[in-house]
Structure 1
């Protein structure tokens, strides 16, 4: 496009507001109060309009909405759109505020009575096109494709679709000039406009390409054979009206709404009205947007270390409900070409430039650091380049190993890292990053142990807004209104993707500098929010310390006995073959054990088993739940369940664990994802060490392959009944408190209470029931679920639950009050103050609301347990370091810490680790940690 060309951007506002409404959670001015005004569509609309303005450069801009009342089409055809349901009340109440905020964002807003938004868009688009002005229409409505010409393009940002002349023909099979004819033939079910019966897109395209137009087709309708020909001839009287209904008007009278047409000056895109926007955002509770405006007007010198900053003009009490609630969701709107940025960056190719930047980072109070590497595997990744940002809007990139034919000469990697190492390893020089654990590993691969990481924007977001995405692109868009270069735009996709060291240095520098600068920008918004709330600040500091400890655990890895795994794989393979043979015998024929269709035929047709449920497509289901139900009465489904279990164990663990071991260390180095689970728990992947099955002998054997080297043993320490102890603490129930304080077997004590017998008279069966009840109620188990678990009648299970609550009234009170509190404030908290958001707690959807209520009860216990194991992990590592012990922490699995212990330190570990774990917090009941030892993980556990 010529730089002299003018562009008109037209937004289908009605399409946008419905998208925003359905894409967003149920947000309210007062979070969690269903009587408070809804704000989700408003917030989504702001997101979408801000993003579109950044992504599409335009000189003129109009956002067009449907006006209230009927249009000329309703008079022409009373059934037009008759099947459409009324606009939801919660959306209707947001329409006027949406019009208001779009205007404040700098757009001309139009809603013209008597016609539809499409007609206004069509009129403006054709007017501009006739003046050689480029027109971009942003909408997901395919009807607008009929407007496309050499100057008019329709973009659908939600689906990354561009409908220009070629795009329309590629998508629909006909050029834009035939789109009205095409729509007339196939009809429009959304608008209740009939087409020709039995004529779909393929037939319509075939006819129009063969005859050239609808008029030509109608003139020769007698030539069309078969049923479709008859239907066409029967529709001849309707087709003119259908075409009129579907044709977008291009001659709406707009003089009363826009001054000076056809000249476009009065719809020039305007500046955002910052002051009025801030007032609007305050009114509707968009604290994140207020913070964004404030941050944009904060002087650069307010960037600094953790001890200095207070929030700038806070908009609410830091402890008020909803301050950090889910009030700034990000629509997953696909970025278009272009972005707004005032970033000044430098590419460092000389020693002089490097020295100048070394002086800058040495003098800076806080420096954002980002590495570009050869791999996402942090243990194997090598540095391609490093970027820094010390002041908003200014950054530098040091290319080090870019390798392509025209690449300029770069400073030598080893020498540059040697110059950076003193600063990187200096704990007195505060550093900032996004997912710093990864960068720690990358630098460690080059012999540098980074010290002084003060902040991680990923963890800041995780603590403040746990249900949101925590990637940098999402954070930058959500909090500072910035978008940047996409990695795939830089490197390509799939088989054509190049490695980062092959990326042009100029583009790589822009990309990496954006990352560092955006990280600094996001930190300036999120850090004051954390400082304003002591409890969340504590959780953030715990996450930062945990990040460092997890880096150490990942770095240590765990030794794998590859020959043992190979033997297990062979044995499992033999057992799988045997199970197949047995299954064939039971079925009376060979079959594919993995084919749902064949299983259904054998189960339900040949063997006459009862159909349990059907898939959404109507097929008879043979999923795992169905197999478990059928296995109660038939041996074949039980055999298939065993086959599936062993096959998964073999494919996931015994075949792959040895392959995942690092060839340099001989160890498996799992990756702990810290910012995933809403409860604060860690997840493990590559490999997943937390999902190794332990209820089967074969699953437990896998743990035997996690071994200690010669001269050491494996130790496994975990908390005893931690979630029940937390329940006792937070519920304050006297009976539960007594059981733990007196050191009783809590399940036996519960059985005594529920079954009304003395402790010494409790049978093993009664204790088993009590254990299921204890843990089931923590997870919100219903009487139906309890009945299924225990194999008893639902009425009996309900009676057990009633009796439990009679004996433990504190637990019942906790559950009832927690549900109510969650509804009022939209979140619950752990004992230590971690905020666990519940966006569906007041959802009108019953199952979602019930799920959120169960989570409200369980999350404080799971979350507190997660906090405790992190506190233990951090404390134990600090002591190991302080005493220069040889013991290494090598795994964290749920409530368990696993160690590799030199034989000389076994007695110290036996005494000190449980003591340290039990002492990290004081609850109303004592914490108890237990430890075991063995040559491998299974024997230690």
Structure 2
């Protein structure tokens, strides 16, 4: 919007505003501060007023204007006493402590009798009311500190240069680009409407400027296109379908592009709008389509897509490849994905969607899906979108893939990230395609029995809770009712408050349960069982595909900045394992009839990476010895022989081993081990004295982030950490932990991806029918015919342990069984 900004190094915005407002008033101007912050009331006087925008929507200026005439009425004290008033009542949002025991009403009453804080503190022993008397005597220094904190400086070295404060016309294209990058979807149309009313605003750039999409609806016209495609260095493609689920998606259209300006669209499944088939309007006429892509007339298109010698590109190609597989085509030669390139280049980017990238990097406003189909009750299927509009939409996606490739290429080379994209992320696409397409089987009868058991247990728990609470009909899903019972009826201590009252979240209930209170413990049990039932036991059977009889999750390559894969629709990576109930859910995942599961899990992968990356001699030696790393660590920390390590010593060593990875401090460690913070601090100090190389590595990670703005994994993946320089201590501390943890988590993610690529190729090469099904953090689940299970297990172990050469051995634990649980054990 080109609103002028004023910055003065070393001073807060409030102080700059205050200084400029008073300088303006001194120059005979009317200064207006637009803010809802009460601190600014102290500045109100001749020539200085406050305009409070409020939160309730549009209001008249007379309702929001605060000047010398009505300032005292609004706050209860005149501007001259505002700092004293705020010093008494405090402000938790600005970390102003105030005087505990004195509220807004009491502060107004006291300041009506005394001119300021110092006079009040001096008179405190003589105050008649006990509460303010004791509060002021006990918290006098807090009151003085609070007054200093709320006092706005008005002598900042800021120049009142009025010529610099003149607003220029908004930069509409930049606003549109920025709002698109930030995913402010509802604001983009508002900006465009404002642009339309501004005669000086430029026209928005169309998605495909000067590009005419060639629509081919006659098989006779395909030969020329196929010749161009085969001569191209890279062919981008995009599909339009009837469903986001590739197992149900009918192919409606397909586009190909050889450059950002050369593109074709092939319609396959367009139809006239429902009810308009015999209308007179030309738009209602049945559209022309090519025969099915399986038809002999389309053999050339199929051959091109299946030819590995023709390099192909897409945006989120994993989806398009599965859509084409459903249509009977096995895409080969997939060589580029603009979504993955964006993620590799900057994993912190807010969105890797093609619309956001086009707007941010190319200045192109892409047509949205709902621009074509509408929304709500008036929404039409994509098949009913006119062919010319569908062609422009689909064609723009293909041309934009190639335009983005040109945009990303220099950055990938300069940052040495091209190899990560080429050797890890892109080869992983066909692996994930096969895993998603295959899916995983569940025992539906097992889940039905589990649902009955949980229903029975939930009913019994609910009755027990009602009995302990002494309230019939208590709604266990109502935080308000639970709060009334826990904190009013039973008078349990309030741990934390929210805007609506005492909190009853899990942390509060756990704290109360830890103090021996029965009801919070029962409610926690109830919530755990209810979550298992509603999230997994009831839902997973509903996600079984009717055609395949299996559940098909989606693995997401972009999102986690460490490079880890995530799973969604449904999420199969978060199924609990530590509890007996969670284990029962995993037991319901079973292989095909006559097959077995092979489950392989990296052993302590992040600790092994810590040893390798830090080079700490003691840590490396502990892993090379081949024993229990936590016993080895305990022996080093406590200075005893391995044989003399007690279970308690091992437990403490295990906790701190993993705590180092996540930047755990004394507070968190003391909670985990049940010791004092001083003991925890001493324990951490002793640990890092014994493993000085680990300390040096972690410090170096933070230093690298501060110097370069990013850290890297073992394989060169970058994570940018701008918060490392933030003035906010909490954000900066989090950034430092992120800098320490990312090289470990990210390297583990890269390792298992490399292993997956190798295993996916090795299984069929060995003549095995075994296939990868799931990746869950450091674990792979493979399905193999019973007679192949042992060979498959050996092959999986070989390629997981050989995914990288480290200074310590990579160890993989492998099991075979008739379900997920038994195979893992």
Mark yes or no: TM-score above 0.5. Answer: yes
Shift of 1:708: 1.4
Residue aligning to 1:548? 430
Deviations 1:848-873 (A, max 9, x none): 11111001111111001001100110
Residue aligning to 1:891? 774
Distance 1:171 1:861, change over 3 A: closer
Shift of 1:533: 4.2
Shift of 1:530: 2.0
- Does the residue aligned with 2:33 lie in a helix, a strand or coil? coil
Distance 1:571 1:69, change over 3 A: closer
CA RMSD of aligned residues (A): 3.4
- Residues in 2 aligned to 1:749 and 1:446: alpha-carbon distance in whole angstroms: 56
- Residues in 1 aligned to 2:547 and 2:453: alpha-carbon distance in whole angstroms: 28
- Does the residue aligned with 1:554 lie in a helix, a strand or coil? helix
- Residues in 2 aligned to 1:479 and 1:712: alpha-carbon distance in whole angstroms: 49
Structure 1 segments, 4+ long, off by >6 Å, are 68-77, 82-85, 191-198, 267-272
Residue aligning to 2:596? 713
- Does the residue aligned with 1:384 lie in a helix, a strand or coil? strand
- Does the residue aligned with 1:380 lie in a helix, a strand or coil? coil
Deviations 1:107-131 (A, max 9, x none): xxxxxxxx9xxxxxxxxxxxxxxxx
Distance 1:526 1:620, change over 3 A: same
Residue aligning to 1:674? 557
Deviations 1:195-218 (A, max 9, x none): 9989xxxxxxxxxxxxxxxxxxxx
Aligned residue among 81, 92, 115 for 2:33: 81
Instruction: Please say if residues 187 and 195 of structure 1, whose CA atoms lie closer than 8 Å, have aligned partners that are also in contact.
Output: no
- Does the residue aligned with 1:573 lie in a helix, a strand or coil? helix
Instruction: Please say if residues 460 and 540 of structure 1, whose CA atoms lie closer than 8 Å, have aligned partners that are also in contact.
Output: no
Q: In the alignment, does 2:330 pair up with 1:449? A: yes
- Does the residue aligned with 2:714 lie in a helix, a strand or coil? coil
Residue aligning to 1:335? 188
Distance 1:800 1:539, change over 3 A: farther
- Does the residue aligned with 1:672 lie in a helix, a strand or coil? strand
Aligned residue among 711, 714, 728 for 1:828: 711
Aligned residue among 444, 460, 463 for 1:578: 460
Q: In the alignment, does 2:825 pair up with 1:873? A: no
Q: In the alignment, does 2:736 pair up with 1:853? A: yes
Residue aligning to 1:237? none
Q: In the alignment, does 2:293 pair up with 1:422? A: no
- Residues in 2 aligned to 1:477 and 1:194: alpha-carbon distance in whole angstroms: 48
- Residues in 1 aligned to 2:371 and 2:753: alpha-carbon distance in whole angstroms: 38
Distance 1:171 1:853, change over 3 A: closer
Distance 1:269 1:839, change over 3 A: closer
Distance 1:188 1:269, change over 3 A: closer
Residue aligning to 1:359? 227
Instruction: Please say if residues 378 and 441 of structure 1, whose CA atoms lie closer than 8 Å, have aligned partners that are also in contact.
Output: yes
Q: How does 1:649-688 map to 2 (within 5 A)?
A: 649-688=532-571
- Residues in 1 aligned to 2:211 and 2:266: alpha-carbon distance in whole angstroms: 16
Aligned residue among 192, 212, 218 for 1:344: 212
Shift of 1:496: 3.4
Residue aligning to 1:244? none
Instruction: Please say if residues 770 and 785 of structure 2, whose CA atoms lie closer than 8 Å, have aligned partners that are also in contact.
Output: yes
- Residues in 2 aligned to 1:788 and 1:624: alpha-carbon distance in whole angstroms: 16
- Residues in 2 aligned to 1:577 and 1:495: alpha-carbon distance in whole angstroms: 40
Distance 1:84 1:663, change over 3 A: closer
Distance 1:378 1:196, change over 3 A: farther
Which stretch has the larger CA shift, 376-385 or 893-902? 376-385
Residue aligning to 1:763? 646
- Residues in 1 aligned to 2:466 and 2:298: alpha-carbon distance in whole angstroms: 63
Distance 1:374 1:188, change over 3 A: farther
Residue aligning to 1:462? 343
Aligned residue among 294, 316, 320 for 1:435: 316
Residue aligning to 2:523? 640
Distance 1:479 1:585, change over 3 A: same
Deviations 1:274-327 (A, max 9, x none): xxx9xxxxxxxxxxxxxx9xxxxxxxxxxxxxxxxxxxxxxxxxxxxxxxxx9x
- Residues in 1 aligned to 2:426 and 2:65: alpha-carbon distance in whole angstroms: 55
Residue aligning to 2:3? 14
- Does the residue aligned with 1:589 lie in a helix, a strand or coil? coil
Distance 1:757 1:553, change over 3 A: same
Aligned residue among 642, 657, 661 for 1:778: 661
Q: How does 1:156-305 map to 2 (within 5 A)?
A: 183-188=60-65
TM-score by length of 1: 0.68
Q: How does 1:599-618 map to 2 (within 5 A)?
A: 599-615=482-498, 617=499
Shift of 1:398: 1.5
Deviations 1:117-147 (A, max 9, x none): xxxxxxxxxxxxxxxxxxxxxxxx999xxxx
Deviations 1:620-654 (A, max 9, x none): 11111101111112111111111111111111111
Deviations 1:809-868 (A, max 9, x none): 111111112111111111111111111111211111111111110011111110010011
Deviations 1:13-53 (A, max 9, x none): 218x69xx9xxxxxxxxxxxx99xxxxxxxxxxxxxxxxxx
Deviations 1:783-807 (A, max 9, x none): 1101111122111111111111111
Q: In the alignment, does 2:381 pair up with 1:494? A: no
Which stretch has the larger CA shift, 744-753 or 539-548? 539-548
Distance 1:196 1:391, change over 3 A: farther
- Residues in 1 aligned to 2:421 and 2:223: alpha-carbon distance in whole angstroms: 38
- Residues in 1 aligned to 2:564 and 2:589: alpha-carbon distance in whole angstroms: 23
- Residues in 2 aligned to 1:361 and 1:852: alpha-carbon distance in whole angstroms: 47
Residue aligning to 1:411? 290
- Residues in 1 aligned to 2:403 and 2:722: alpha-carbon distance in whole angstroms: 27
- Does the residue aligned with 2:598 lie in a helix, a strand or coil? strand
Distance 1:914 1:589, change over 3 A: same
Shift of 1:188: 4.1
- Does the residue aligned with 1:667 lie in a helix, a strand or coil? coil
- Residues in 1 aligned to 2:205 and 2:541: alpha-carbon distance in whole angstroms: 45
Distance 1:579 1:358, change over 3 A: same
Deviations 1:57-107 (A, max 9, x none): xxxxxxxxxxx999998877756328799xxxxxxxxxxxxxxxxxxxxxx
Q: In the alignment, does 2:408 pair up with 1:526? A: yes
- Residues in 1 aligned to 2:172 and 2:640: alpha-carbon distance in whole angstroms: 76
- Does the residue aligned with 1:466 lie in a helix, a strand or coil? coil
Shift of 1:756: 2.2
Mark the runs of 5 or more structure 1 residues left unpaired by the alignment: 1-11, 22-33, 36-67, 86-114, 116-140, 144-158, 160-169, 173-181, 199-252, 259-266, 278-291, 293-325
- Residues in 2 aligned to 1:494 and 1:707: alpha-carbon distance in whole angstroms: 40
Shift of 1:497: 2.7
Residue aligning to 2:806? 923
Aligned residue among 896, 900, 908 for 2:791: 908
Shift of 1:883: 2.1
Shift of 1:408: 1.7
Shift of 1:389: 1.3
- Does the residue aligned with 2:567 lie in a helix, a strand or coil? strand
Q: How does 1:697-708 map to 2 (within 5 A)?
A: 697-708=580-591
Distance 1:734 1:344, change over 3 A: same
- Does the residue aligned with 1:840 lie in a helix, a strand or coil? helix
Instruction: Please say if residues 219 and 298 of structure 2, whose CA atoms lie closer than 8 Å, have aligned partners that are also in contact.
Output: no
Instruction: Please say if residues 25 and 31 of structure 2, whose CA atoms lie closer than 8 Å, have aligned partners that are also in contact.
Output: no
- Residues in 2 aligned to 1:363 and 1:750: alpha-carbon distance in whole angstroms: 61
